[in-house]
Structure 1
Amino acid sequence: MANIGDSRAVLGSRDSGGGGGMVAVQLTVDLKPDVPSEAERIKKCRGRVFALQDEPEVPRVWLLFDDAPGLAMARAFGDFCLKDYGVISVPEFFHWSLTEKDQFVILASDGVWDVLSNQEAVDIVASSPSRSKAAKSLVEAAAREWKTKYPTSKIDDCAVVCLYLDGKMDHERDSTASMDNISLDEGSVADPNEAQEQEPALTRNFTVRTVAGSAHEKALSGAVDAVVAGAAHDQNWSGLDGVTRVNSLVQLPRFSEEKAIG
């Protein structure tokens, strides 16, 4: 899994304790300017990292001699004015070996994680009346939390994709939702009696492998220790157990200037 920016992937997995509950496992790192390794790179490149007084919880990246642009991410596509000041477009890669307990993956923008914890998001998706409404239910829950926690603030973008891992291809499809197609009414909830839309879908073929007790699992655990040790200041990092974090440069194609063909 490749990640750039501050969106996050969270896995919903069945509790190994036998209680039947769901456990949230954070699969990616939010690449924000306050991550120690990201802040160090930015400062070495003469960029500045600090938060404004009216939003002390949001560190941003600024130019050396100008209080602009205030980017809230340490890695991004297209922010050319900061490319010489430490903001890069190189993704970080994460690896997770699926087991039969892993049920679904939530991909969501930071507007969701600003107001909901990993476990809250997993519980909402797991309790959704249908898979096709899971993403919508999560976006609606995030919108309600924004109104409660930050009543004077504009709701940040909330986009969600729910990917299910059991291969079922009936009307219970993977779901996608965003603020563009979600009603923000307080009473807006998913209706379990609403007719499900039928759409053609591609067949997915994959193999779920159990890695418990294997040498591969031990190698993963050793790799994770280094990640968590470098980021113990943030409790969200505890969700990275079992994830391999690979820091490697991606060879991007270079385009030479050519004359336009008339």
Structure 2
Amino acid sequence: MFCKRGRKGINQDTLTVWEDFNGEKGAFFCGVFDGHGPAGHRVAQHVRDQLPSKLSSVIQSLQNRGSRRDLDLVDKDDDGQENGEKERRGSNPGTCFLSSWEASFVKSFKEIDEELSLDSSIDSFCSGSTAVTMIKQGDHLVIANLGDSRAVLCTRGQKNQPVPIQLTVDLKPNIKSEADRIKKCKGRVFAMDEEPEVFRVWLPDENCPGLAMARAFGDFCLKDYGLISTPEVSYRKLTPDDEFVVLATDGVWDALSNAEVVRIVASTRKRSMAAKLLVAHAVLAWKTKYPGCKIDDCAVVCLFLKNGRPRSQSVVNNTSGGNPGRQDNAVGQKSGSNESEANPDTVLAAITDDAEESSTVDGVSRVDSLIRVPRPKAAALSRRNSAKKPKQIEVP
């Protein structure tokens, strides 16, 4: 795992990995968190520190109530044989399709968000954080996603080539179901003329705060207007062809495609360097793709599922096997491309060179939240922070 500050100020990305999660040998909890707004880094750190233990506590409470069987990540047929649970939203889900696991994630996310709303030490009214988290237990994955960070799996195709499978949906306001919910709650969704590709969430009568995601922790100025902290929970039964999962914040995905990410990680000579090398490639890609923009923060967790180094071959688009309705912006490897085969030392030098450059370098920030709500207006919009001292600050 690796996290790097960009050029927009304080690093608002963070991550965590718990081994033997919930006391189960070989179980993992992984998560990456991307804060936004003036106190976004504090929101992200709070979620990072509290969510794993909160989730463990909720799971333990279910176990203590005799619901352990509901947390078994398997389904059984009429003969009692274990079958991999069908993916979430699939047809005819099994009787114990991770309902308790989904409820545990939803309850944990809700309680963390409620704690944030009551914590006067963190001004989360116009600051928040995304989260993409995952539990691996045996050959089972449970993924809970909130916001626009992403999880991508690398599996092997029929010709033994690595294939990226996107495990999460980027929960942005341009998704119809997300936009419909926001509009139903009187929030507004639109993109500005200067960035027509970025849809944002706005208050009913004010052109603020312009949040570029549809779900998040915090951001309580919008919680009455369609923004929610309920994660989208999904499941995947691992197969012998699955090799690793990459969790990363949007600083990586804005610069690299799913296929590029899988290719870079699969070709890394040392697994311990995979996340750092991926971030270095993202930094280089930012400089090329967004030459007038400040590089975003990046956080990456690479969870390898097998012993031994992955085999490196050309990556192809995922044309089958993904979840219905899931986004996959992967692109095939171009003929003659040597991006993943570049000298690792040369690529990693990008991180050092970039770190030595001033964080005040001129450039435009691609921000997740544009304008902070004036506190007097904010106090009238929500009861959550009505007792806080009024002030007005604009998001950098």
TM-score grouping bracket, smaller chain normalisation? 0.5 to 0.7
Measure the CA separation in 2 of the matches of 1:12 and 1:235: 13
Residue 62 (structure 1) aligned with residue 202 (structure 2): yes
Write the letter of the residue equivalent to 1:157: D
Residue 89 (structure 1) aligned with residue 229 (structure 2): yes
| Deviation of 1:43 (Å) | 0.6
Measure the CA separation in 1 of the matches of 2:184 and 2:215: 15
| Deviation of 1:52 (Å) | 1.7
1:36 corresponds to = 176
1:166 corresponds to = 306
Q: 1:153 to 1:124 in 2, by over 3 A?
A: same
Q: How do 1:210-221 residues align onto structure 2 when only pairs under 5 Å count?
A: none
Deviations 1:158-188 (A, max 9, x none): 11110011267xxx8xxxxxxxxxxxxxxxx
| Deviation of 1:104 (Å) | 0.3
| Deviation of 1:21 (Å) | 1.8
- Aligned partner of 2:296 among 137, 156, 178: 156
- Aligned partner of 1:49 among 171, 181, 189: 189
| Deviation of 1:113 (Å) | 0.9
Measure the CA separation in 2 of the matches of 1:129 and 1:56: 40
1:4 corresponds to = 146
Name the SS for the 1:152 alignment partner: coil
- Aligned partner of 1:14 among 136, 142, 156: 156
Name the SS for the 1:80 alignment partner: coil
Residue 125 (structure 1) aligned with residue 245 (structure 2): no
Of residues 159-168 and 68-77 in structure 1, the stretch that sits farther from structure 2 once superposed is 159-168
Assess if the C-alpha contact under 8 Å between 2:166 and 2:328 holds in 1: no
Measure the CA separation in 2 of the matches of 1:53 and 1:137: 35
For these two proteins, the number of residue pairs brought into alignment is: 178
| Deviation of 1:224 (Å) | 4.6
2:27 corresponds to = none
Moved over 2 A (4+): 234-237
Measure the CA separation in 1 of the matches of 2:185 and 2:287: 38
Measure the CA separation in 2 of the matches of 1:117 and 1:36: 23
| Deviation of 1:236 (Å) | 3.7
Measure the CA separation in 1 of the matches of 2:291 and 2:270: 30
Assess if the C-alpha contact under 8 Å between 2:247 and 2:301 holds in 1: yes
Name the SS for the 1:120 alignment partner: helix
Measure the CA separation in 1 of the matches of 2:155 and 2:250: 21
Name the SS for the 2:222 alignment partner: helix
Measure the CA separation in 1 of the matches of 2:270 and 2:193: 43
TM-score by length of 2: 0.43
* Unaligned runs of at least 5 residues, structure 1: 173-220, 238-262
| Deviation of 1:14 (Å) | 1.4
- Root-mean-square deviation over aligned CA pairs: 2.1
Q: 1:145 to 1:224 in 2, by over 3 A?
A: closer
Q: 1:111 to 1:30 in 2, by over 3 A?
A: same
Measure the CA separation in 1 of the matches of 2:265 and 2:323: 27
1:240 corresponds to = none
Measure the CA separation in 1 of the matches of 2:300 and 2:197: 23
| Deviation of 1:115 (Å) | 1.5
Assess if the C-alpha contact under 8 Å between 2:165 and 2:328 holds in 1: no
Residue 77 (structure 1) aligned with residue 217 (structure 2): yes
Name the SS for the 1:64 alignment partner: coil
Measure the CA separation in 1 of the matches of 2:188 and 2:307: 46
Identity between Structure 1 and Structure 2 (%): 62
Q: 1:129 to 1:56 in 2, by over 3 A?
A: same
| Deviation of 1:29 (Å) | 0.6
Assess if the C-alpha contact under 8 Å between 2:154 and 2:242 holds in 1: yes
Q: 1:118 to 1:83 in 2, by over 3 A?
A: same
* Unaligned runs of at least 5 residues, structure 2: 1-142, 310-320, 331-396
- Aligned partner of 1:140 among 259, 280, 286: 280
Deviations 1:86-138 (A, max 9, x none): 00000110111100110000000111111211111000000012101100111
1:107 corresponds to = 247
